[in-house]
Structure 1
Amino acid sequence: MESKFFAINEQEISEELILDLVNNKINFRVFNITDITATVDFLEKTIESQKFSVRVYTENRSAVLAGGLIPTGFTQLAALGAGIGFALHNLATYNPDFEIGKSIGHDRITVTYKKSS
Structure 2
Amino acid sequence: MARIEVRVPESTKKEWTEYVDDHSGLASLSTLVRLSVASYVREEDVEMGVEEQLISDFSELESQIQELERQTHKVRAGQLDQEDLVDGLSSLLDSYFEPVYKADSDDMFTVASDLPGGDW
> After TM superposition, is the score higher than 0.5?
no
Name the structure where strand makes up a greater proportion of residues: 1
Q: TM-score, normalised by structure 2?
A: 0.27
Name the structure where helix makes up a greater proportion of residues: 2
Higher-RCO chain (CA-CA 8 Å, sequence separation at least 6): 1
